[in-house]
Amino acid sequence: YATCVMDLETGDILWVGKGRATEDFRKFFLEYDMDYLSNVKAFAMDMNASYNKLVEEYMPEVDIVYDRYHMQAQFGKEVLGVVRLNEARKHQELAKDIKEIRDGEADPDIRRKLKAEYNEEQKAYSTLKNSRWSILTNSKNLSDSRKSALNTILEEHNDLAVCYAMKEEMCRLFELSDPKEARDRWTSWFEAAKESGIDALVHFAELKQKRLEGLISHATHPISTGKLEGLNNKIKVAKRVGYGYRNDDYFFILVRYISMPHNFMLIP
């Protein structure tokens, strides 16, 4: 792994270093000319590491902004994904129980009824298993047919409906531009999540509420790590094209080169 620091305005890579641990990232602050960063107002990052502690230590006047897309992706995986699969397993387990009862039943009428119930549970299981993208996609971007199918799922699964509603509200929170309103609504969102009684949602809220200030900062500085994520994809392609690189220094130079605008002419 390597850690990159990008200037979001220019797209230039300011620093790249080996590793992704907190102490690996500390080298950026020790090696880089901090005078160059004196006008920085905000620092966008994800929540996967304790990078925020180093920014607070070396750049205490800078606002930390947590990337909305990482937050939404984690909610989709750790909350919606977990709850959806739990609901699907309930249908699967119920279908197995019905099958066992049906196999031991001699009355043909009862067997036909149990078979119909078994098929319904299996259908519900398959529907939930295949609903991942509909649940994760912004409701505005769903077709009428997908939206109707999703509404049916949510009407039949209360916990999933609650988590879906929380996801939609969370997306709206990232559109706020008033810090005071953002603080009030983020606080209310976390309180509602913890009071839901849904284990995955409660656990997520307890972890992320510790990063409240960085979420509120998005209202003041609506920035993200999107441009850097795009560069990461280019870096991965370059690595595959080169079948990997044994020399870290050479590879990091290549990373810097990839980040440069290529609409210039090299004069020998």
The answer on pLDDT for 263 being more than 70 is no
- CA angle (158 as vertex; 157, 161 as ends), nearest 5: 90
Distance CA 1, CA 248 (A): 11
> pTM value?
0.88
The confidence score (pLDDT) of residue 48 equals 79
CA–CA distance, 213 with 64 (Å, rounded to integer): 8
CA 126/CA 88 separation, integer angstroms: 8
| Total count of residues recorded for the chain | 268
Q: What is the pLDDT of residue 241?
A: 92
pLDDT higher than 80, residue 261: no
What is the rounded distance in angstroms from the CA atom of residue 199 to the CA atom of residue 165?
16
Q: Is residue 262 over pLDDT 80?
A: no
Q: Give CA–CA dist 84/192, Å, rounded.
A: 20
